[in-house]
Structure formats: C-alpha cells, structure tokens
Structure 1
Amino acid sequence: MRVKSGREANTRGDGTSILDAFKGAKDQVKVNRFLWTATLQVLDFLPVEAADPFTGVISTGFGTPPGGGQAYRATVLISDPALDARALNVALQTRGGPVSAATERAVEDAILNRARQLRIDAARF
C-alpha cells in the first residue's frame, strides 16, 4: 500500500486542493474603494441588507432621505476598479415601483462626486 504525501492527500481528482478555496475566486470583481465608500456614505439613510465587496453589490432596505417623504431602496453594482461612471450602476425603487432615470442619475452623480472627493482627500495624505 502506498502512502500519499501531504500534497496528494489534499487534492481531489481534478488537481485542486482545499487550499485553492482560500486563494480567491477567479470571478471576483475588484471594486473601487472610493466608489464603495462613497456609496455607503451617500446612501447612509438606507439600511444595508447585504454588502459584498467581492462581487461589488450593495443592497439596501427601504429608508426615507432626510427631509423627504418618499421611501426608497437601492441596489448598487460597482463593476470595475476604475473611478468611472461606467463602473457604477444604481437601481432605485419606491414602494410604488422603480424611480425615474433622472433620479437614478442624480444619485449616481452624488456618489461619483463623493468618490472623487474621497480620492482627492486620500492623495493629500
């Protein structure tokens, strides 16, 4: 009977080992840290239900903005490490359904502006 070495004992038939799970998945998206932080800051009035920095998705529950009467919820996708408008996709919804494209664009602009401010502040240090 042949005794398997440590490397052989930990591998499955397909040549991968349990340690490969800790190296990081190949389908992970690298998100821009400034966009991520800016999104959480701009939408801080919404309760975060799920936030996954590995896929770039932030999902919130319903919340009312300060001084507003309408409740919103948001799903945000940050799909790129670049600080760029193409890397950010915001979907807003009210209890009555989706909001206008202009409202979504205004929230995206607020997030992008805050992200740029954060990047400028980080460059100072």
Structure 2
Amino acid sequence: MGTLTSAKPILAIAAALMLSACGGGFGAGGGTNAGSLPPGHPESTTGTGSSIWDIFKPSDAGTNVKVNKYIWNASLDVLNFLPVESVDPFSGVITTGYGRPPGGGSAYRATILVSDPALEARSLNVALQTRNGPVSTATARAVEDAILARARQLRVADARF
C-alpha cells in the first residue's frame, strides 16, 4: 500500500505535465505567439487556418457543379457521333471512344474539359485524336469553335423561356 500512495503524486505530476504540453489555454492566443508560427501551422493566423478539427465541419465538396451547362450540353450535341465512355460533371471531363463523323473517313476520339462556369473560350479544352495520333491544332480549334457556337445558341434559346 505504501507504493500506491507514493505513486499518486507522481501520476498527478505526470498528468499535469501532459496537459500543459498540450498548450492551447483559454486565452485568445492560446499561450503561443501565433504571429511567429510558420504559415500553414494550425495555430497560425497567417496560414490557411485549417486544423485537425476541419474534418468535422460540413463539407460542400461535390455539391456544387463548377462547369458551364451550355458548354457541357453543346459538347455532347456537337460530338454526338462519338460514343461516350465516361462523364464526370464535378471535374468537367467527358471522355469518348472512337467514332466516325457523318460523311468523314477517319475515326476520332475526344477528351473534353469544361473547367469554368463561365461561357467563355477559356472554359473549354478539347483534345482530339485519330488512331494515328493527335489531330492538328486547327481541327481541334474548329471543333472548339463549333461547341462554343452551339453553347451560345443553347443560351439564347434558354433565355427566351
């Protein structure tokens, strides 16, 4: 029993040291000089401000689609002769398989990236290729122009309603 009573003060001191090492405190600064911490440190006021507790905050990732719906639909309209292999509206990527355009001889496949919610040319990137390799930049630009023209038509038609 003598060893148990002498161990209590040691356990109490060890617990106090462990709690004091956690820092934090109840004040605004938490006992640390937040301005002297490196950027990105959880307690830094100049960093990102993220901490381990951010995992418990509600996340809006995946709830808002960040692509332009007119460019998205126009891409599917203009390249409707290509079989769609995969679509991801959250990242804005449409991947197609090989297909022949009406009246064309070569088979093409495309990867379309709609990267912005704005109806602008910078929001669209089209990568076309044939079985022999990538197509010329003029051909890819002509397809992008056709998609953007169709997107404008869809927007105008949507504004009428």
Taking structure 2 as the reference length, the TM-score comes to 0.64
Residue identity in the other structure for 1:36: W
Structure in which a larger fraction of residues adopt helix:
2
Question: Aligned pairs, how many?
Answer: 110
Matched, 1:44 2:44: no
Q: Distance in 2 between matches of 1:104 and 1:112?
A: 12
Q: Which residue of 2 aligns with 1:108?
A: 144
Matched, 1:61 2:97: yes
Segments of structure 1 that go 5 or more residues without pairing to the other structure are 1-12
Q: Which runs of 4+ in 1 moved over 4 A?
A: none
Residues 29 and 80 in structure 1, CA contact (< 8 A), matched pair in contact too: no
Structure in which a larger fraction of residues adopt strand:
1
Residue identity in the other structure for 1:109: D
Identity of aligned residues (%): 65
Residue identity in the other structure for 2:82: L
1:24 shift after superposition: 1.9
The SS at the match of 1:122 is: helix
RMSD across aligned positions (CA):
2.0
Segments of structure 2 that go 5 or more residues without pairing to the other structure are 1-50
Matched, 1:24 2:61: yes
Specify the structure having the higher radius of gyration (Cα): 2
Taking structure 1 as the reference length, the TM-score comes to 0.81
